[in-house]
Amino acid sequence: MSAEYRFSFGPWNLHEGADPFGPTVRPTVAFAEKLRMYKQLGFEGVQFHDDDAVPDLETLSAAEVAKKAAAVKKMLDAEGLVAEFVAPRLWEHPNGIDGAYTANDPAVRRWAIDRSKRAIDIANALDTRLIVLWLAREGTYIRESKNALDSHRYLVDALNEMLRHDPRSQIAIESKPNEPMDHAYIPTVGHALAIAHQTVDPDRVGGLIETAHAMLAGLDPSDEMAFALSAGKLWSVHLNDQNGLKFDQDKSFGAANLRGAFNQVRILELAKYAETGRFIGLDVKAMRTQKADVAHKHLANSRQVFLTLVDKVRRFPNDQAARLIADRDYEALELLVLEHLMGN
């Protein structure tokens, strides 16, 4: 029997339904209540932004942050949960309006690195080594507003300072090509792994691949995953779905493109990802039209679709497929895949 998959999500995936054009439509679920829901929904890993774990951390001393993080660790223990990663949330603070690590203002770059070190300290208090960097505003709306050569050097500088801050931490860069920026500096996992190799410790910098982000870059998410997996650098995933090139939709896994979802699961199976002990993270949003009392179903449903697709991958008629590949009968292979997905 192969290893079991472990599932995670972030507290932001249970949310009030605000979008850029309208306010919240559901009441806030308290953090403690969210933690109680994890196990019921089939999840054991919690993904954190630094301020999900320690709200208002900017106004607290280092000792106060440590105390609050220790209290959260106790809450996790009480629920039988573990922290998967901590991600510094640099994009909501007024300092980060023009980017954080790549801001033109050196004082802002200093702030961003210092806050990231605090995020690493929080991760340690929560007993996880993994730091995720979604580089939200590290890019431009107007190309001439930054020197992109400097920006890439600043990114390497920031990574190096984080790596030196704690020699045990690992940094997974979550690439995304756009939104909120017109163009982001690290649009694909290839960029993430290339920048990893410019740091003082490339072995400790890897990637987190989100389905929707890969699709927004016009790429196949399963091939992005294969690229990172082949380098031993896929350290988490944000599975979800995306219906074409529009805003980042974070739809339930498989909801728009079931075959694409099948291929992501297939590549994770081929790479024996479950055996690495890394998490299958879901970064899915409930539809804004979903009623409050059922606004958690997108999580359990995405996990269920993943597990059903694991079963589909394991029961795929590989021998038959191999014969068709040898025969170069790709139309027959196509039909074999489609019939298998349709349950025949």
238 touches Mn ion (CB under 5 A) = yes
H or E element: which one contains 333?
helix 330-341
Q: Which residue number, 118 or 238, has a Cβ lying nearer to Mn ion? A: 238
109 touches Mn ion (CB under 5 A) = no
49 included as an active-site residue:
yes
First to last CA, the chain: 25
Smallest distance from the beta carbon of 186 to ligand XUL, in angstroms?
13
Please give the Cα distance from 106 to 85 (Å, whole number).
27
**Among the listed residues 156, 138, 234, the one whose alpha carbon sits nearest the alpha carbon of residue 194:** 156
Q: Which residue number, 99 or 281, has a Cβ lying nearer to Mn ion? A: 281
176 binds, among ligand XUL, Mn ion, none (CB under 5 to 8 A by kind): ligand XUL
Smallest distance from the beta carbon of 215 to Mn ion, in angstroms?
13
Please give the Cα distance from 160 to 246 (Å, whole number).
34
Sign of CA dihedral 314, 211, 154, 48: negative
Q: Which residue(s) pair with 239 in the sheet?
A: 282
CA atoms within 13 A on the CB side of 133: 36
Among candidate residues 50, 51, 52, 121, the one labeled active-site is 52
H or E element: which one contains 140?
strand 139-140
**Contact string 157-196 vs Mn ion (x = CB under 5 A):** ----------------------------------------
Q: Are 308 and 252 in contact (CB under 8 A)?
A: no
The 3-class SS string of 150-161 reads HHHHHHHHHHHH
Q: Which residue number, 238 or 296, has a Cβ lying nearer to ligand XUL? A: 238
55: Cα separation from own chain's centroid: 21
251 touches Mn ion (CB under 5 A) = no
Q: Applying CB under 5 A, which part among 5-13, 78-86, 220-228, 230-238 lies near Mn ion?
A: 230-238
152 included as an active-site residue:
no
87 binds, among Mn ion, ligand XUL, none (CB under 5 to 8 A by kind): ligand XUL
**Among the listed residues 122, 91, 87, the one whose alpha carbon sits nearest the alpha carbon of residue 108:** 91
What is the binding site for ligand XUL (CB under 6 A)? 49, 87, 134, 174, 176, 210, 238, 248, 283
51 binds, among Mn ion, ligand XUL, none (CB under 5 to 8 A by kind): none
**Residue at shortest CB range from ligand XUL:** 134
Just list the catalytic residues.
49, 52
- Binding site residues, Mn ion, CB under 5 A: 210, 238, 283
